[in-house]
Amino acid sequence: MARRRRAVVTGGAGFLGAHLCRRLLAEDFAVVCLDNLSTGLTDNVSQLLELDTFEFVQADVTTGVRIGGPVDVVLHFASPASPTAYLTMPVETLEVGSVGTLNALELARRNQARFVLASTSEVYGDPQVNPQPETYWGNVNPVGPRGVYDEAKRFAEASAMAYRRSHEIDTAIVRIFNTYGPRMRPDDGRAVPTFVRQALLGEPLTVTGDGLQTRSLCYVDDLVEGIFRVVLSDLPGPVNLGNPQELTVVDLARRVIEVTGSLSGIVPVPRPADDPMVRRPDISLARTALGWEPRIDLTEGLRSTIAWFRRNLDAKPAAELNEEAAS
């Protein structure tokens, strides 16, 4: 009988990591989830602990990765990912992108395993090219407040390629664009969880600046499908994974109000430094090499996300809030 493939997911108790763990388990992988819980949540993986094919290790990837037994795939997803998180933990973000990446690569090297790096569209910075192809080198401010995340990921990409060239490790880089779905933290700070939380609580939705900056939102199940196809491929990347459908932030706020049925209004707040004006992936490579593109439209994805927030957020139903507002 063939041995079950075994994957290590760093940051596996985070939003994306937890979804990825579930997908790997569903595909008959044994999974080791490694997380220091700085931004991840044990609730995200607590139901998986009953499975004999799942192991949770609370550890920090920056202090080394000690995993016994064979490893076939290393998926390095450990990092603060929202601006709220990485601006609060700037040094830790740089450490996990540098030392943490090198430690995860060493684990892959010792096991001759496939290595998949979760990079980001933020390597493109505030792009002067739209949509952004993988060949675009970006427009990043390395000394701005967001530089800790952008440059950590750029260093991580360079490290993956160095290991590929120098140690012949089977590495891959996925550049993840704006993703949303269940299991996002309500205090995440990114647009979708912020808007959904505010709408469900009957608070004004806070849009930064004039709200005309654009984002391209991919539902988490679509993204995980793309990542899994990268795992099974020999594609080195970098490869963009995201939704090429672009919309303004203020239009997103209006859509959330519509889907939640909230009577919340929209108020402007100051726009953060180095906030990208546009964000849209060119996914030609993913379509050609992986046969992948997003399938779930924004309204359907928002409905699933909002339903999860209703179950997990201490909020009154929108209908109840509407009655109070009308009285």
Statement: the pTM of the whole predicted model exceeds 0.85: yes
Cα–Cα distances in angstroms (integers) from residue 50 to residues 9, 47, 53, 54, 163, in the given order: 18, 6, 9, 8, 36
Predicted local distance difference test score (pLDDT) of residue 195: 97
For 183, the token pair is 């299991």
- How far CA 224 is from CA of 1, 18, 127, 179, 221, in Å, comes to 28, 10, 25, 10, 5
**What SS3 state is found at 96?**
helix
Q: Which of 260, 154, 140 is nearest to 199 (CA)?
A: 260
Question: Which of 124, 149, 163, 219 does the annotation list as catalytic?
Answer: 149
Q: What is the pLDDT of residue 316?
A: 42
For the cut 50, the answer to whether the pLDDT of residue 327 exceeds it is: no
Mean pLDDT calculated for residue range 245-263: 97
Two tokens, residue 142: 């390395």
**Beta-carbon count within 10 A of 229 CB:** 18
pLDDT band for 47, please (50, 70, 90 cuts): very high
> For residue 214, is pLDDT > 70?
yes
149 is catalytic: yes
In this structure, of 2-6, 43-47, 110-114, 159-163, the range with the lowest mean pLDDT score is 2-6
Using alpha carbons, select from 105, 103, 80 the residue that is nearest to residue 91.
Answer: 80
Both tokens of 192, joined, read 């979708």
Sign of the Cα torsion 282, 181, 81, 147 reads positive
Average pLDDT over residues 179-203: 95
Tokens 């806070």 correspond to: 206
Structure confidence at residue 1 (pLDDT): 63
Q: Where are the domains of the chain?
A: 6-184+217-244+280-295
- The rounded mean pLDDT for the chain is 94
First to last CA, the chain: 67
Question: Closest Cα partner for 21 from 45, 39, 38, 4?
Answer: 45
Mean pLDDT computed over 237-266: 97
CA atoms within 13 A on the CB side of 123: 26
The pLDDT value given to residue 2? 75
- For position 314, what pLDDT does the model report? 65
pLDDT of residue 42: 94
Looking at residue 65, its pLDDT comes to 87
Instruction: Give me the architecture of the 6-184+217-244+280-295 domain, per CATH.
Output: 3-Layer(aba) Sandwich (3.40)
